[in-house]
Amino acid sequence: MASQIVQHEHSSTLKHHFASDAQQLDAATIGMWLFLVTEIMFFGGLFLAYFAYRQAYPAAFASASNKTNLWLGAANTTVLICSSLTMALAVHAASLGKRTLLVLFLILTLLLGGAFLGVKAYEYHDKWVHHEIPGAHFECEGCEDAGHAPLFFSLYFGMTGLHATHMLVGFVLLVIIIVQAARGKFTAKWYTPVEMFGLYWHFVDIVWIFLFPLLYLIDRSHTGLK
Amino acid sequence: MSDHNEQHHIVPVPVYIAVFLTLIAMTWVTAWVSTVDLGHLNIFVALSIAIFKASIVILFFMHVKYGTRLTKMIVLAGIYWLILLLFIVMADLWTRTWMGVPGR
Amino acid sequence: MITAPPPEKTTPNYLNHQHGLKSWLLTGDHKRIGILYLISVTMFFALGGLFAALIRLELTTPAGDLLESNQYNKVFTMHGVLMVFFFLIPSIPATLGNFLIPMMIGAKDLAFPKINLLSWYIYVLGGIFTLYVLLTGGIDTGWTFYTPFSTSYSNGYVIAAGLGIFINGFSSILTGLNFIVTIHRMRAPGLTWFRLPLFVWAHYATAAIMILGTPVVAVTLFLVVLERGFHIGFFDPAYGGDPVLFQHLFWFYSHPAVYIMVLPSMGVVSEVISTFSSKKPFGYTFIAFSSVAIAVFGFLVWGHHLFVAGQSIYAGLVFSVLSYIVAIPSAVKVFNWAATMYKGQVRLETPMLYSLGFIGLFTIGGLTGLFLASFGMNVHLTDTYFVVAHFHYTMVGGALLGYLSGIHFWWPKIFGRMYSQVWSKVSAALVFVGFNLTFFPQFLLGYMGMPRRYHVYPPEFQVFNVLSSAGASVLALGLLLPAIYLTWSLKYGEVASANPWGATGLEWQTSSPPIAENFEVTPVVTTEAYDYSTQQEVVHVG
Amino acid sequence: MTMEPKSFQLFPESASNFAPSVDGLYTYMVVVSAFFSLLVGFLIVYFAVKYRKKPGQGIPAPINDHSIGSMILEITWSVIPLALSLVMFAWGASIVFHESRPPADAINIYVTGKRWMWKIQHMEGAREINELHVPVGKNIRLTMTSEDVIHDFFVPAFRTKADVLPGRYTTEWFQPTKIGDYHIFCAEYCGTKHSGMIGWVHVLSAEDYDKWLAQGSGEGSMAEQGESLFNQLGCGNCHVKGGHGRAPNLYGAFGTKVDLSDGTSVRFDESYTRESIIYPQAKIVAGYDRIMPTFKGLISDEGMLKLIEYIKSLGDPNGVVPGKTLTSEPSDIQKSGQMAVPMSEEKPQAANKSTASAGTSANAGRQQ
């Protein structure tokens, strides 16, 4: 790119307490991965609750899970995987210093993320309409063992809600990064924020990769793909 | 200190595309398999596919395959501790009825 | 980031190279952030201590004559919450660790200075939530937040308190993250892993626990907040939820958390014992690896808090045997410290007195832990004052004494001043005597069966309670003294040399107080750790 | 109360079969701990005195690194403590196995914790609050539950305790060995008057106990009260003897293994009974339909215990040792194609008398 700054031993992006760019990048990567480890454990608590109660109340979980919309879930998974691809390609573009391509892929990622959240919001609305929100007005029409169904829906909203919160945070960060990218802040030598954000975005994708089968795909054999 | 000079390993685009297509395929495979009654195997199949999908995202999209040994160790530590949490607590739940005395 | 101005002529250091409140509140300097933590942690400690005083005062008589039951419950809850989450966990890592780790490894700063500052602000924010709870009416769940009491029955401000601790957790996570990256990637040339001071090893292990454990308690308290706020069920038996699951999640963090509190103290003690024996620590590698072993095995024993809680007894037995295994690395440390003094040149300066006190009290704390690790013994002892005495021996006798030892040891480095040697020794003696008088009787009370968290108690327990309260007043005096003479020393203390104790680490090779960038030139390490033969520039004070 | 408190003591009264073994283990641990505390204390003081450099002599000259480590020592001071502590583990484990296996001949007593009192029901019908009368020398088995939060039934003189959980049953047993009055404490923090949730165990001689029991309650035995509740709720309309009804046979069923419709099985115990009444659809017996309505909120925790005692009394549970299973009798179970739920229309008031807290009582029992 034309705007590229010539990098020397001490580039403008090197903080004073680091000895080299390599050390700085390495530190950022390790730091990001450690952060993701804390995220794994953070979601881990919810996954544990999920497995514990699914084991205790299989009938309630199976029939409550059938209340979710498999097509929307699968479509949303696809959307999120697409956004992961565009994010990976954005990092790729950044590493080659292709600014326009970088911005394009980031915007695509943003749009796909928005689509995911839109579908999620629609699903939440659907649950609201059907009173499938745990609380005083909870109903689970036709559920087996409806008495334990609130546990499934508490976990459903807890897990997808936490996931959606992560998406929202990612959304805000992504907007900032797009602006920075458009202004040419990143170069082929230094695009650490893009790379770190990519790790975050893929992590959020991975969480969904587990949420989809656990929340949408229990005991579908009796209902089929509907 | 590690002198880690290969700063970036640039992954070829076809690799990304291949991973992407596998992920999409697996998504629909797992959705379809769930409609086949495999009894208790359903959850194992679903989780195996999810673990496979997550692994290729971690290895290729997140560049861990090309990362330092430290990065790999951090990822493994995270997974290990998650399994520790899940397995030990589930082991308690599994064995709660063994004694045949409520609360023991 | 603050970029250092060109060096001035008048001995510039990190304290005086910039002035004004803004230069402190927006600093990226790990040393200044360490001091911000020092101030805030001390405030929370004082507050927690005030609640402790109320507890001991109330318990001098069997009847509830000073406080209402409800007030008493709020007092011990606030004591626990403040001391555990806002003092013990950040105490050494966030103050001394923050200050010293970059200096000990010859770095200019932690890897992420802005994140370091952010972690302090998060800590303050969490603290504000907790103070809000305190001012608006308190919380009566106990620091353990057991469900369904906390979610459905408590009449305290569970949501605000839960959020306060939830938020505070991220401060701990970010500190741990910063430490691990820094220790991995910022070490000076030549500083291999086995040349690291044991303080750094201990903090590495601590940071690992912070990263792996804290998120679990954060999400658990978050679920409690959701359950209480929106009446949705995660642990509520009304929906078939399992309160024991909450306890698993809670102790998955909160047991390793006691190692977050005590491991840094062990690091301090390793430094202090070696320095004041002028001898390389006996079994350096064993002490180093025992820290890591404690961190790893410490994650496998949380279930010994659940022996009588309705957990399966098979799970309980596994947790019991694992608890004994985690005791071994601690024993290894104690014996190695004692062996370090063997044929050393022992100087009984104040930090050494505190460290020796630590060894004695931590030994008792650890040994009484063996009582509680035994499933059969635990059934009788759990939830009694035996537990209270045990964890105060490890948390106060261990973590707090280690903290005081460290503060006295590095005070000349941090502020460039010496404190009164006489008063500090008096204070160390008072703390040791007062502590034992306070908590030893509680072991006996526990075996006799006095349950913890009791506001009123049967009269046969009074004798030991009076002894305990008497001890607490001595302890309080012992802890007030340092506040006075340390503050006094800031202005009137003798100016300290760069290395007043004849210690080895890199932090003693820069000036006291250090310059903003820690070192004039990045040091290159060529010798093993604790090489006392290379000592130069030694001035004794005292 | 009835007991003269002693002003000073180091051990609580020793009044159960567990007390001597727990005290024995305690003594062993105290000896080991005292030895190591004194050893470490001695070493530190001895080294500090022997190798002390007086202040004012400056920093000492470096000494030879002749003692910077020793593998033999490290192994010694790892292995010896490990061996000593594994004795503690094994000893403790043997005690806890003993404590976890109530003898088959034990007298069943039911405990319900409620903020802030202990409600106790005897099989014979006697009920008491914050007091528990038991005969000396007999095995006593407590089956406990809570109406609200977690409590803990702790008798220091018996050296045993167990948490009392809402929505679940826990068990505690002991054999009182000494006549006298002993403290009951709630040992799990349960709110404002936690320290007031105390009471007394009165250990009586066999004759005194019989006399005390004879005073009775006038309400009949727990099983009888359970039976009338069973009838009021209309349970017998479906749960017919011999299994001719729409619902599984309950006679002689308690303590057996029950096959469920999803292919798994569950032991018919207190927790399963409770769950099946509150969440009837959670675990369906193989061959039956999901027709039973929930009784959530209709039965108090004490009423539930009466029903359990009644169901236990149906048929002969002889030889049913907890943990062992009897074979269920498939001939007693008949398929039912019926659909309607023949619930009596009026909800029984007696069972419904309680309480706002009924909503929190639920089953967290986790059979597989």
Task: Look up residue C6 and give its DSSP letter.
Answer: P
Task: Tell me the average pLDDT across C288-312.
Answer: 94
pLDDT of residue D62: 59
Residues B57 and B44 in one domain: yes
Residues B20 and B49 in one domain: yes
Predicted confidence (pLDDT) per residue in B54-73, tens digit: 999 999 999 999 999 999 99
**Cβ of residue B57 closer than 8 Å to a chain A Cβ:** yes
Whether the Cβ atoms of residue C175 and residue C119 lie closer than 8 Å to each other: yes
Angle, CA of C170, C86 and C224, to the nearest 5°: 60
Q: What is the count of residue pairs from A and B with beta carbons less than 8 Å apart?
A: 147
User: Picking from A28-32, C108-112, C295-299, D210-214, which range would have the lowest pLDDT averaged per residue?
Assistant: D210-214
On whether residue B3 sits in a domain, the answer given is: no
Q: How many domains does chain D have?
A: 2
Report the percentage of chain C scoring pLDDT > 90.
86
* Distance separating alpha carbons of residues D61 and D104, to the nearest angstrom: 74
For the record, the structure tokens of A114 come out as 């928005």
Whether the Cβ atoms of residue C100 and residue C273 lie closer than 8 Å to each other: no
To the nearest whole angstrom, how far is the Cα of D10 from the nearest Cα of chain C? 6
Residues B46 and B79 in one domain: no
Backbone angles phi, psi at C123, to 5 degrees: -55, -45
**Cβ of residue C125 closer than 8 Å to a chain B Cβ:** no
Residues D210 and D244 in one domain: no
Task: Tell me the average pLDDT across D264-284.
Answer: 87
pLDDT of residue C522: 87
On whether residue B62 sits in a domain, the answer given is: yes
To the nearest whole angstrom, how far is the Cα of A210 from the nearest Cα of chain B? 6
Q: Which among D197, D220, D243 is the end of a domain?
A: D220
Residues D161 and D229 in one domain: no
Residues D347 and D247 in one domain: yes
Q: What is the count of residue pairs from B and C with beta carbons less than 8 Å apart?
A: 44
If pLDDT is split at 50, 70 and 90, which confidence band does D285 have?
A: confident
* Distance separating alpha carbons of residues D77 and D75, to the nearest angstrom: 6
Q: Would you say residue D355 has pLDDT above 50?
A: no
pLDDT of residue C514: 94
Best of B40, B97, B98, B99 to substitute, by most chain D Cβ atoms within 10 angstroms, is B97
Is there a contact between A148 and D278 if contact means CB atoms under 8 Å apart? Answer: no
For the record, the structure tokens of C215 come out as 């998120």
- Which chain B residue has the Cα nearest residue D269? B102
Q: What is the count of residue pairs from B and D with beta carbons less than 8 Å apart?
A: 44
Spell out the domain ranges in chain A: 30-220
Best of C212, C242, C300 to substitute, by most chain B Cβ atoms within 10 angstroms, is C212
**Cβ of residue D82 closer than 8 Å to a chain C Cβ:** yes
Best of B2, B4, B69, B89 to substitute, by most chain C Cβ atoms within 10 angstroms, is B89
- Which chain B residue has the Cα nearest residue D263? B39
pLDDT of residue A135: 77
If pLDDT is split at 50, 70 and 90, which confidence band does D7 have?
A: low
pLDDT of residue D55: 65
CATH number for the A30-220 domain, one of 2.40.160.210, 3.40.309.10, 1.20.120.80, 3.30.70.870?
Answer: 1.20.120.80
Of D162, D270, D366, the CB nearest to B93: D366
Of C245, C303, C313, the CB nearest to B104: C313
Q: Would you say residue D334 has pLDDT above 90?
A: no
More confident residue, D250 or C57: C57
> Which residues of chain B lie closer than 8 angstroms to A216, CB-CB?
31, 34
Q: Would you say residue D264 has pLDDT above 60?
A: yes
**Cβ of residue C303 closer than 8 Å to a chain B Cβ:** yes
Mean pLDDT (chain A, rounded): 89
More confident residue, D57 or B42: B42
The interface predicted TM-score of the complex, written ipTM, equals 0.91
CATH number for the C32-534 domain, one of 3.40.50.300, 3.30.2010.30, 3.40.1550.10, 1.20.210.10?
Answer: 1.20.210.10
pLDDT of residue D282: 85
Residues B73 and B61 in one domain: no
* Distance separating alpha carbons of residues D116 and B1, to the nearest angstrom: 61
Task: Look up residue C346 and give its DSSP letter.
Answer: B
For the record, the structure tokens of C465 come out as 């309670």
pLDDT of residue C164: 95
If pLDDT is split at 50, 70 and 90, which confidence band does D66 have?
A: low
> Which residues of chain A lie closer than 8 angstroms to D366, CB-CB?
52, 55-56
**Cβ of residue D12 closer than 8 Å to a chain C Cβ:** yes
Residues B39 and B78 in one domain: no
Of C180, C216, C522, the CB nearest to A41: C216
More confident residue, C283 or D367: C283
Output the CA–CA distances (angstroms, integers) from residue A121 to A160, A168, B33, in the order listed.
Answer: 11, 12, 27
For the record, the structure tokens of A182 come out as 């458009």
Of D282, D294, D368, the CB nearest to A59: D282
pLDDT of residue C163: 95
More confident residue, C490 or D344: C490
Predicted confidence (pLDDT) per residue in C11-70, tens digit: 788 988 888 899 999 999 999 999 999 999 999 999 999 999 999 999 999 998 899 999
Tell me the residue range of the domain where D249 lies. Answer: 222-360
If pLDDT is split at 50, 70 and 90, which confidence band does D312 have?
A: confident
Residues D230 and D158 in one domain: no
If pLDDT is split at 50, 70 and 90, which confidence band does A140 have?
A: confident
**Cβ of residue A147 closer than 8 Å to a chain D Cβ:** yes
Residues B54 and B22 in one domain: yes
Q: Would you say residue D367 has pLDDT above 50?
A: no
DSSP secondary structure letters along C85-129 = IIIIHHIIIIIIIHHHHHHHTT-SS-S-HHHHHHHHHHHHHHHHH
Tell me the residue range of the domain where B40 lies. Answer: 10-67
Q: Would you say residue D366 has pLDDT above 60?
A: no
D neighbours by CB contacts (3+ pairs under 8 Å): A, B, C
Residues facing residue D107 across a β-bridge: D140
Per DSSP bridges, beta strands D151-155 and D127-129 are unpaired
Predicted confidence (pLDDT) per residue in C381-422, tens digit: 999 999 999 999 999 999 999 999 999 999 999 999 999 999
Output the CA–CA distances (angstroms, integers) from residue C292 to B17, B37, C75, C285, D74, in the order listed.
Answer: 42, 47, 36, 11, 16
Report the percentage of chain D scoring pLDDT > 90.
46
Q: Would you say residue C318 has pLDDT above 80?
A: yes
Peptide bond into C458 cis (omega under 30): no
pLDDT of residue D6: 53
Predicted confidence (pLDDT) per residue in C168-221, tens digit: 999 999 999 999 999 999 999 999 999 999 999 999 999 999 999 999 999 999
> Which residues of chain B lie closer than 8 angstroms to A81, CB-CB?
20, 23-24, 27
If pLDDT is split at 50, 70 and 90, which confidence band does D336 have?
A: very low
CATH of the domain at D133: 2.60.40.420
Nearest to C234 by CA among C131, C113, C140, C152: C152
Of C184, C249, C300, the CB nearest to B70: C184
Q: Is C449 helix (H, G, I), strand (E, B) or coil?
A: coil
To the nearest whole angstrom, how far is the Cα of B33 from the nearest Cα of chain C? 29
Mean pLDDT (chain C, rounded): 92
Q: How many domains does chain B have?
A: 2
pLDDT of residue B5: 40
Q: Would you say residue D56 has pLDDT above 80?
A: no
C neighbours by CB contacts (3+ pairs under 8 Å): A, B, D
Whether the Cβ atoms of residue D246 and residue D288 lie closer than 8 Å to each other: yes
CB atoms within 10 A of CB D14: 15
Predicted confidence (pLDDT) per residue in D70-123, tens digit: 889 899 999 999 999 999 999 999 999 999 999 999 999 999 999 999 999 998
On whether residue D178 sits in a domain, the answer given is: yes
> Which residues of chain D lie closer than 8 angstroms to B99, CB-CB?
100-101, 322-323
C232: burial class by Cβ within 10 Å (0-12, 13-18, 19+)? buried
Residues D161 and D125 in one domain: yes
On whether residue B16 sits in a domain, the answer given is: yes
Nearest to D358 by CA among D276, D299, D279: D299
Residues D203 and D351 in one domain: no
Residues B33 and B75 in one domain: no
If pLDDT is split at 50, 70 and 90, which confidence band does A223 have?
A: low
CATH of the domain at D271: 1.10.760.10
Whether the Cβ atoms of residue A64 and residue A143 lie closer than 8 Å to each other: yes
Residues D101 and D84 in one domain: yes
Q: Would you say residue D341 has pLDDT above 60?
A: no
Is there a contact between D363 and C70 if contact means CB atoms under 8 Å apart? Answer: no
Task: Tell me the average pLDDT across C147-166.
Answer: 92
Q: Would you say residue C286 has pLDDT above 90?
A: yes
